[in-house]
Amino acid sequence: SFFGSEWHKRWCILTQRSFLYFSSEKSKQPKGNFSIENYSARLNSQLRKDSRKKCSFELVCPGKRSYEFTAPSAAEAQDWVEQIQFLLKGE
């Protein structure tokens, strides 16, 4: 793609300890999942260079894969980050 990385649409579910992502809204099996334990969530407007940069957030954990997301709006990105942080406080 123009920016060097391609974004794919995913549908995500956050549970008490896991983050699951699906290739479509109707998918029965997740395309992937990971434990959010030891991860941190934060907004990151550096992930995108376009008009959706304020909608971007990431989950990071030292020594593990980082996950980057773009929500439909900046408010939804903030909500995802807050919900993940809330669950992580309960660890």
Rounded Cα–Cα distance for residues 30 and 24 (Å) = 9
Contact 24, 35 (CB under 8 A): no
CATH 2.30.29.30 fits domain 11-90: yes
Q: Please give the Cα distance from 86 to 17 (Å, whole number).
A: 11
Q: Supply the pLDDT for residue 90.
A: 74
Section 27-43 average pLDDT: 93
Domain edges within the chain: 11-90
Measured distance CA(45)–CA(11) in Å, rounded: 21
Residue 61 scores a pLDDT above 50: yes
Flag whether pLDDT at 52 surpasses 90: no
Query: 15 or 1: which carries more pLDDT confidence?
Result: 15
Q: Residue 57: left (phi > 0), alpha (psi -120 to 50), or beta?
A: beta
Each residue of 68-78: pLDDT tens digit? Answer: 999 999 999 99
DSSP characters over 27-38: -SS-SEEEE-TT
Q: With bands split at pLDDT 50, 70 and 90, how would you rate the model's confidence at 8?
A: confident
